[in-house]
Structures are given as structure tokens and as C-alpha cells.
Amino acid sequence: MEKESSGLIIGISIGVVIGVLLAIAAFFCFRRYHRRRPQVGNSSSRRAATVPIRANGVDTCTVLSDSSIGTESPKSIQNGMSFWLGSVRKSNVVSASGILEYSYKDLQRATYNFTTLIGQGAYGPVYKAQMSTGETVAVKVLATDSKQGEKEFQTEVMLLGRLHHRNLVNLVGYCAEKGQHMLIYVYMSRGSLASHLYDEKLEPLRWELRVQIALDVARGLEYLHDGAVPPVVHRDIKSSNILLDQSMSARVADFGLSREEMVSKHVSNIRGTFGYLDPEYISTRSFTKKSDVYSFGVLLFELIAGKNPLQGLIEYIELAAMTTDGKGGWEEIADSRLDGKYDLQELNDVAALAYKCVDRAAKKRPSMRDTVQVLSRILKSRHERKRQKRSLSATAEEITINVEQVDHRNPISGHRRVESIDSTADSYEV
């Protein structure tokens, strides 16, 4: 019995020891897992972005509006951002979010000690930078004494880390070091839409290109409203925030004022750019997707008229609308720099769409999805007209070739006819 009792005690002891060892091992695994989890969890919620900035000379297209992210608690965002920024390694490697963190020294070297100024924004200067990889980027440095600039930094990094679309400016990196906040974007070599509309030194935009730019912007906004989860309201659509790449494709930039629709739509202060602001937003202090639609309508009229909204564009439009039926007769406001080189039907169709977008009643405005469909139809009709024109031209050329072939064959028989007539004449004279 004693042997059996001893064996039982030994077995229990061994089991307890093994259990304790397993518990200790489980504890250390659990602790190690939780050390890694905040970094992975935080980063995975912000996927790699697709976001570029402007890149022209020093002009109005770099000036940003004095904006705010409204009533959303800056404290909660700041805590979240500092936690995220602290969790990523301070080295030039891709974080789990896909956004690069650059060191201050790297950017100092790439901008030749910040001497390559290309513009001045509302919150600080913008520099052109040549990275060691050969990539050209634009670096926006946010003023250290600007609380609003810090909010813009937080908003852009958090939003653009999860937004992916070919018509949105892509954020490729950031720097949060030595008290500096910098945003790094893809360099947009053709600058802003505003510079092409108002800079007399640049060649005027062709009408066909203006419509294509409008469609690019509409697609970017449609993605923000209907493709992003949760939806995002940009709140600062204007020509200086539309950037053009080397192929003149347009992208929406500057998300410092943007808000997710799930956040409270009511704000204490009116933020945005005068001339583009939705009247309903001004009166109710409440912004919606239709606020972006209104700003887009103003942008469409800006493309048509080549007139700055800050110089009474909407009043100019209202006066023109009094002499039109809302659908036709808009050619009287066409940009003089177009020199009459536009399709009249297209211009009237785009203007009619723009007029619906700037309706003072938000409910009567179309959605961005509707505007994309209308602009797509306009371009499709243009392509069909060109195709028909090419087809008619080809038919005409074919007919010309056939006539020429007949003419090449006829001279012989014609010569024979002349000889026959001559011989008849000779015989008649005899």
C-alpha cells in the first residue's frame, strides 16, 4: 500500500510540476503576444495609402484654406496618433500600415537643407525633395506653432492611410521628429488646376481636357462618398486642391478639413473657402455629401468660365441663368481663352449639370454618382461623334480613291476616242 501511495504522490507531484511549467510558458507567450498586438492592430487599420501633393512654382495653388476638423475631440485623435506614431519604429522602413516614416535627417538631405521651396501653404511651406531612391516627392512642413496644422497632420495621415483611388492624391510618408510634422506626397509635376486656369504664362486648357478633369474629380469624390467605409466628406473642394500629374490626370488633394460622415455633422465654426461654400452649410452649420456637390458645381462653372469664385462667379452665373432656360445659352459665359473652340452641346450639358449642383436646396442637387454618369455620357457621346466622323472621312477617302482609279483607266479609251474623231474629221474633209 505504501508503495502505491508513494507512486501516486510522485505522479501527482510530477503532474503539478508539468502544469506549473506549462502555465509559466503560457504566461510568457500571452505577454509577448500582447506586446506585439497594439502595433499590429493599430497599423492594420490603416492600409497603405494612395496619395500625391501638388508641385508647381510659388503660386496661389499652394495656398490652403484656413480649416478645422470641427467639433471632433482633438484629444482623442491626438492620443490615438501619438500611440500609433510611438508604436512604429523610428527608421525608414515600411510600417504595417504601408506608410513610410522618414527621419528628419533624410528629408533635410533630400531638400538640400529645406532650400527647394515650391510653395507656401496655410500651415507652412512645401518643398520639392529628391530621395536617395531617385524618387521625387513633395514635402509639406506644418508650422510648429499651428495647432490647426497639427490637426491637419493627424487627419491626413489617419484618413489617407485607408483611402485608395487613382483620383486621390497619395500620401507616401510622414515625419514626426524633433517637434516637426511633415507630410510626404507624390510629386505632381503639372501643379494645380488653378494655376492652369489663371496663370497667363501657361497654355490655356483645351475644352476636351477640362471635361476630362471634371470627370476625374467627380470619380474621386464619388469614391469618398460611396466607396470609402465609412464615407468621407472632403469639405474643401476647389481648383487649388485639384492637382495634375504628368499626363494631366486630375487628383483630389488636401484632406486636412475632411471628416468621416459617421462623425457629428454639426460644427461650431464655418470652415472652408469662400466662394465654394454651400449656403445651406453656412446657415445650418451642418455639412453633408451635398456640401461637396455644391463645391463641385462651382468648380464646373470655374472650368467653363475661367473665372475665380472669389471674384463673384456665382453672382455671374445667376445673372447668366436669367437669360437661359437652365439647359442652353450658357456659351455667353464661356472662358474667352477657349477662343470659341468647344462643342456647344457639350458646354451646355456640362453647364446644366453644374447649375443643378449649385441649387440652394441641397435635396435638389444630384449625387456624385449621378454627376459621374452624366459626365461619362457626355464623353461617350463625344467619342461616338469622333468615330462617326472618322468613318465618314474614311468613306469619303475610299470614294476619292475609286474615282482616281477610274480616271487612270479612262485616258486610254479617251485617247482612242480622240483618234477616232480625228480620223472621221479627216475623211470628212477629203
Give the pLDDT mean for 217-230: 95
Q: How far apart are the first and last CA of the chain?
A: 162
pLDDT band at 58 (very low <50, low <70, confident <90, very high): very low
The CATH number covering residue 341 comes to 1.10.510.10
Same domain, 363 and 216: yes
Domain holding 66, by residue range, is: 52-187
The residue written with cell numbers 481663352 in the block is 337
pTM: 0.69
User: 210 and 347: one domain?
Assistant: yes
> Which letter, b or e, does each residue of 103-116 get, where b requires 16 or more Cβ atoms within 10 Å of its Cβ?
eeebbbebbeeeeb
Higher local confidence (pLDDT), 236 or 429: 236
Let me know: does 224 contact 140? Beta carbons within 8 Å: no
One domain, residues 107 and 236? no
Whether 404 maps to a domain, the answer reads no
Q: What is the pLDDT of residue 74?
A: 34
Q: 228 and 292, same structural domain?
A: yes
Are 183 and 199 contained in the same domain? no
Last residue of a domain, one of 344, 361, 381: 381
Do 157 and 233 fall into the same domain?
no
Each residue's pLDDT tens digit, 143-157: 766 566 677 787 778
In a domain, 5, yes or no: no
Q: Are residues 183 and 200 in the same domain?
A: no
Comparing 42-56, 274-288, 322-336, the range with the smallest average pLDDT is 42-56
Tell whether 411 is covered by a domain: no
Residues 6+ away with beta carbon under 8 Å from 129: 107, 110, 111, 116, 136, 137, 138, 139, 184
Residue ending a domain, choose from 158, 187, 216: 187
Q: Tell me how far the alpha carbon of residue 323 is from its chain's centroid.
A: 35
* Identified catalytic residue from 216, 236, 292, 349: 236
Report the domain count for the chain.
2
Q: What is the Cα–Cα distance from 199 to 203, expressed in whole angstroms?
A: 8
The CATH number that applies at residue 130 is 3.30.200.20
45 domain-assigned: no
| 26 within a domain of the structure (yes/no) | no
What is the per-residue pLDDT for 98? Answer: 60
Instruction: Please indicate, yes or no, if residue 269 is contained in any of the structural domains.
Output: yes
- What SS3 state is found at 420? helix
Residue 32: pLDDT band with limits 50, 70, 90: low
Please check the confidence at residue 243 and state whether its pLDDT lies above 90. Answer: yes
* 124 has pLDDT over 90: no
SS3 state of residue 91: coil
| Burial (Cβ within 10 Å: 0-12, 13-18, ≥19) of residue 329 | middle
Q: Is residue 23 part of a domain?
A: no
pLDDT digits 0-9 by tens, 247-296: 999 999 988 788 876 555 566 678 889 899 999 999 988 889 999 999 99
236 catalytically annotated? yes
Same-domain status, 251 and 359:
yes
Q: How many CB atoms lie within 10 A of CB 355?
A: 20
The verdict on 226 and 205 lying in the same domain is yes
Query: What pLDDT sits at residue 401?
Result: 67
Residue 43, domain member (yes or no): no
Q: Is the pLDDT of residue 372 over 60?
A: yes
Last residue of a domain, which of 348, 364, 381? Answer: 381
State the average pLDDT over residues 98-102: 80
Regarding whether 166 and 210 lie in a shared domain, the answer is no
Q: Indicate whether 372 and 268 sit together in one domain.
A: yes
Question: 137 and 69, same structural domain?
Answer: yes
